[in-house]
Amino acid sequence: MIQNGRIADTLHLGGHNATLLEVDYTIPPGSVKSVRHANYWPVSIDLPDRVREIIYHGDLLSFGIYNEYRSFKEFFKLNERYCFALLRNQELVDQIKAQNFDAIVYEQYDFCPMVIAHLLKIEVRIWTASCPMIAHQVAILGVPFEASYVPASMNNPTGDKMSFTDRFWNIVRLWTMCSVHIWSWDEFDVTLKRMYGDDFPKIVDIAKTADVTFINTDELIDFPRPLPPNVVHVGGLGVEAGHQELEAPFSDIMTKGDKGVVLFSLGSVVDTRYLPDGYLKNAFDTVAKFKEYYFIVKLSKNDQRNADYAAKYDNVYVNDWIPQAGVLAHPRLKLFVSHGGYNSIIEAATFSVPMMLIGIVFDQPRNARLVERNGWGLSLDKTFLKHGPEEFEQKLVEMLTNDKYKKNAERINRLMRTKPQTGEQKFLSYIKFLEENDGHLPELKSIASDLSTVEYHNLDILAVAIALVVLVLLIVFTGLLSVLKLLKSCFTSKSKQE
């Protein structure tokens, strides 16, 4: 919802009458803090709160492909329940219809807005991705998979330079994530046809009707990959560069530490209460050795266990809320120890802050690798603090004493500032482009997703080429055999005559 709020605000500031409809069943309605300008319409759907169980399935530090598959499978079941609850609420559907929306913007996970777009005949449709594009979106939009050098988005600790094993698991991750999305949507299609008739289109086909897809990535902070012309990087929406005023106590905290301040945050998805015993204790024991630096650590709400442990160190401040952008913008901040969420990476790049990244789940391990790839951070395995504080201490020393990370962070910042268009400028220019051309840009759409696997990879041509080569080899081989037989016959005949 954070990215959706930023999109709504950007549309509003661009002169559009934008409304963010928050139909949320995972967090209380009204909790989106990023909406400051657009119309805001929170709607509550009464479903049991199973989010933590669905996301985690046990220890986050052992979260792998199987856990991910199960999590997304159950997430889509819950998503289906919420969508049917919404669709059966005819009063709400009528209220949405009465607004006469000209266009609809929806993100990559939620298929319900696609159904609403079709039911209410909202013809101008815009797809978004709140993180690097995941496999089902890549497949639907006809984006080349390029599994040999483009890491899969979810739970992938590899970069773009992959070994044989890395490439194998990259293909497995791509296939797994694509399958769980498409199969879940196929199940949903069956119910939709029962509700609205056999002629109701498949979710995948509705998704393909989007004329433009905006992804919350910056081409300078992502692994380079080929994209169709209607898939556009707009990373950085709503991120304000420049100095940001901090209120107490953070304005005072940023003056502490002889050499500066370090921010440590594992984001909002990771609940620090559920991390293994000793994980954050090892982190606190380590940072306590760096007396010349002051550490701000974000803990989850009600994480009293870790808060009590941190209290014994006088160079550590903990809280369940941090004004992250303001802290990152402060000149005394020296390092950001982060989970690797894409919004955090964009903010760190905006303010030239080096990063130490501990990717835990979803796209975070992949994001960590891309920062390391460009030299303004280091990526650490998420389990490293389970085994003791030694590696963390070594990495802190490296990043706080080696100025190459700061120089590379400044280069990324300069590249983002001087590129031809910012994410906001590109976003608004494409919206205007849509407006001026009846809301549709079929000329930009790739037909790759409509091709069969055989056609897409030219397997039929490859098969014919192989067959021709084999045929030529057979002809040559047969010819050689015939020549050998003829020669043998000649020698045999000659020897008999002698």
Q: What does the pLDDT read at residue 493? A: 65
Q: How many domains does the chain have?
A: 3
Please tell me whether residues 472 and 400 are part of one structural domain. no
One domain, residues 360 and 409: yes
Both 130 and 66 in a single domain?
yes
323 located within any domain: yes
381 and 265, same domain (yes or no): yes
Q: Same domain, yes or no, for 278 and 178?
A: no
- Are 389 and 426 in a shared domain? no
Inside any domain, residue 138: yes
Q: Do the domain assignments include residue 34?
A: no
The DSSP code for 420 is: S
Q: Are 331 and 300 contained in the same domain?
A: yes
The whole model's pTM is what? 0.85
Same domain, 188 and 336: no
Looking at the fold, whether 194 and 104 belong to one and the same domain comes out as yes
On whether both 285 and 389 belong to a single domain, the answer is yes
Does residue 226 fall inside a structural domain? yes
For the chain (498 residues), the mean pLDDT of every run of 10, in chain order, is 83 89 61 64 57 52 68 77 85 90 90 92 92 87 87 85 92 86 86 92 92 93 92 88 81 94 90 85 92 94 91 93 93 95 93 94 89 94 81 93 96 94 93 93 89 89 96 94 82 63
With respect to residue 68, please indicate whether it lies within any of the assigned structural domains.
yes
C-alpha distances (whole Å) from 234 to each of 93, 326, 383, 415 are 30, 22, 32, 15
| CB of 318 closer than 8 Å to CB of 307 | yes
Residue 308 is part of a domain; what is its CATH number?
3.40.50.2000
The pLDDT assigned to 60 comes to 62
Question: Domain of 407?
Answer: 250-418
Closest CA to 176 of 204, 140, 152: 152
Q: Are residues 222 and 255 in the same domain?
A: no
pLDDT score at 497: 60
Cβ-contact 193, 181 below 8 angstroms: no
* CA nearest neighbour of 324 among 258, 379, 244: 244
Q: For residue 338, is it within any domain?
A: yes
116 lies in the same domain as 205:
yes
Residue 313, domain member (yes or no):
yes
Residue 65 sits at the vertex; the CA angle it makes with 64 and 67, to the nearest 5 degrees, is 65
pLDDT of the residue at 236? 87
- Identify whether 433 is part of a domain: yes
